[in-house]
Structure 1
Amino acid sequence: MRIINNKFNIKMISENFGRYKYNEVDKYIELGGFIGLKVALEKGKQHVIDELKISGLRGRGGAAFPTWQKWEGGIRELDEETFVICNADEGEPDTFKDRELIAKDPYKVIEGLTISGYMRSAKTGAIYLREEYTYMKHELETVLELSREKGYLGKNILGTGFDFDIKVFSGVGAYICGEGSALIESMEGKAGKPRLKPPRIGSKGYLQMPTQFNNVESLAVVATILKMGASEYAKYGYGDSIGTKLISICGNVNKPGVYEIPFGLTLREIIENVAGGIENNKKVKFLQLGGVSGPLAPESLLDTRYTYEDLWDLDLGIGSGAILVADEDMSVIEYIKLANNFFHHESCGKCIPCREGVHVYKKK
């Protein structure tokens, strides 16, 4: 059990929010920026894997796959040129925590992606920025250029012989491009539709190169862990859900926004102590966790801890970290209609369950 006393005001992943601007690379360095990259390059790949194991980091895009397992597998595939991608196609309704990271701490995202490139022995990486975030593209490109000038990108990074650079791709405004293979198809100039698998993108991805994907938050957490040390990071959290999580909370709450919380708070604590309670002192009717593709949770589950294990036990999930709160006036039927309309509009029609629908057959 690791819940800490000051549990509603934690700043680790979000430690730099509001402390520098995108064109202030020197300020980022003064704040301890790029220490995680230096640790990775100095101590080597096995040290990074060991730290990720201690941290318990799971993918923050929704799949929750252990990051160390993904990265350890990638280390073994070094026979050909490889590629790494930061997936910033944050298209799930209710989810906007990656936007905050890119806007308020872009260098940390760049640092995490560079560490990913080092681990994968890649020479090039990409940030796939959703079409609705195109307004941030110029700022990101400035961040990349300033990072090159300081020796944190490009040829012979920090004198280690490691060459790596990053480019930014603008998305096509389709929800389906958040899926890895559809995103790659889009990057290659094709229609953004998922590929048949196998082969998987880890073996044949962008331009048929072995490709590794990570979410924006996942990469920022890697940089954070290597900077502060996994043992220190692991002091936070609850049970097997280690560390902290960025959540995006919206709906009928007084203080919607992006917050960093330790795993282990209850859903009730998140609503009342983090998001300021329900508007107009009304009652909660239901929550939706992880975005509109997630299930609804009734008010009776508000005392459930926000951990992977506690939510999985109830067939719920953390997903991307989105929490939508609906009060007593919200019609469940009308809400589900809205969600269905979104998926109807965004479906590419390629996968059979999405195209044909899901049918329930009863025994005669």
Structure 2
Amino acid sequence: MTQSRPSLTIDDVPIAWRFDDGDLLFGGLSSVLFWANPSLFRMLSPLVEEIGTDLFRLLVARSSSLGTAEDYRDVVRLGETFEQGFLSWGRLVSMAGWGAFELPAFERAACAATVRVRNAWELRMQAAGGMRWGCPFLQGKVIGIFGRALEQRCWADEHIVSEGAEPVVEFRVHASDRTIEDELHRLRLARLRARQAELTQHMAAAALELRRKDEEVEQKERLIRALSAPIIQVWDGVLAVPLVGVLSRERAAPICEELLDRVTSMSATHVLLDLTGLSEVDAAATGQIAAIVSSLRLLGARCAVVGLSPQLARTMVELGISFAGVRTYQTLADALRQVVGLTRGPARRSF
């Protein structure tokens, strides 16, 4: 033993400390010493919370079972019978703090066994942590070692016997078609299906909300169109359409469609198209106004244009659009007086 590399041997297991390298060798393998609680518990508990107890247990069990080929070779080497070798192996790993191993029952012909671990390290770790996920590490070791000893697939059911000052866990080994890999696949598939169902539900809810919002937008657009271009019956057979704001092709088209429908349904004979409130009209919309006037003529309704601005008039001239035969008025009042006969005298005037 040197000062920088002290060592000792317990039950033929060499333990050495390499202070210069910051390493601990247990049985010749580089090892790390952690406190069961809080160090290991604080390291593992966030993973349990993140992925869930079932998936965590299976992942740990699979990982611990991967080294059981070497463990089984040690078991065979350490005893004349499997039982003796397993208990000797248990004494070796107990020196690493795994717990005290017992083998109350082993029936090779029946493919059955009971493994008891007193003061199991996983239970000690969880005792003061406020979370419980059992002993998947020890379960994976038992499944792997006994599967090789019995030369067939087996499973180890875990039973927590005691969680007191000296916690005890029992593993009841029996023949089974279950494997850790199969259980992992089944669990992942179930989680995937659950996630897909959740996503489908979220998508359906999102689609429903989108349809609701689309309907709200459509209602608002209809309201805006109605407010910006209301079709008002001002007299029997007389409709007034005051246009406000910016008139584009996109806005003019539905106004024309709705106006023609109203003229037909109400048997209107006169339409007053009030352009006084328009702030901007593009060339395409100017053509739409002309189309509205022409369409009204085809339906037999007379159209009068109110508030034609100089800018709009110039645009119409530049585009070669003519309102020949269409009466124009400066104000809606002038047009109303003319159309409904609100001038002096009993007779109504037409245009």
With structure 2 as the length reference, what TM-score do the two structures score?
Answer: 0.24
Structure with more helix by fraction? 2
- Which protein has the larger Cα radius of gyration, Structure 1 or Structure 2? 2
With structure 1 as the length reference, what TM-score do the two structures score?
Answer: 0.23
Higher relative contact order (CA 8 A, sep 6+): 1
